[in-house]
Amino acid sequence: MAFRPGVAACIAARIAACVCACLVTACSDGSAPPKVPLGARAPAPAMLPGGTASAAPMAPLPPAPPINADARAPLDSGNALFRRKAYGAALAQYRIAAQRAPEHAAPFFGIYMAAQALNNPRLADSALAGIKARQGAPATGSPHRAK
């Protein structure tokens, strides 16, 4: 029996899909975690011997407070300069924003990114400590720094 070329390819693709589905089902040991629809809560993590969770979910951070208007302009200027790869000028603007909004982490994140771009790990580590201090996390070294 002869098929048109497009029909034969379609039939071959369906057969290949069925074979793959059968192989996946046959080779699965059933240990994969269940699929969770988007928007649904994931099940609690499995417990390891000793009563510790295998993968404890992190608590979401509270939303950052809005940055004051006095610091918004230099922060936005720093972002625009950073996008143009003018990292030194962006760093200067981020420092002004940090002086005007010392309680906000956003200017310190800008300082961190500019310091990384300028290959200044000491400044990047200092800015990262400032970010973490404003988020209540312990300050540690930069995860991007070569050891």
pLDDT of residue 49: 59
For the whole prediction, is pTM greater than 0.85? Answer: no
Q: How many other CB atoms are found less than 10 A from the CB of residue 98?
A: 23
- Give Cβ neighbours of residue 59 (< 8 Å, ≥ 6 apart): none
Rounded Cα distance between 99 and 91, Å, is 12
Number of domains in the chain: 1
Inside any domain, residue 30: no
Rounded Cα distance between 140 and 13, Å, is 53
Predicted confidence band at 32 (pLDDT cuts at 50, 70, 90)? Answer: low
Inside any domain, residue 35: no
Inside any domain, residue 98: yes
CATH of the domain at 93: 1.25.40.10
Predicted confidence band at 43 (pLDDT cuts at 50, 70, 90)? Answer: low
Which residue range forms the structural domain that includes residue 119? Answer: 69-135
Predicted confidence band at 145 (pLDDT cuts at 50, 70, 90)? Answer: very low
Range 85-106 average pLDDT:
95
> Which 8-state DSSP code applies to residue 70?
H
Range 44-67 average pLDDT:
64
Rounded Cα distance between 107 and 142, Å, is 17
Inside any domain, residue 117: yes
Range 45-51 average pLDDT:
59
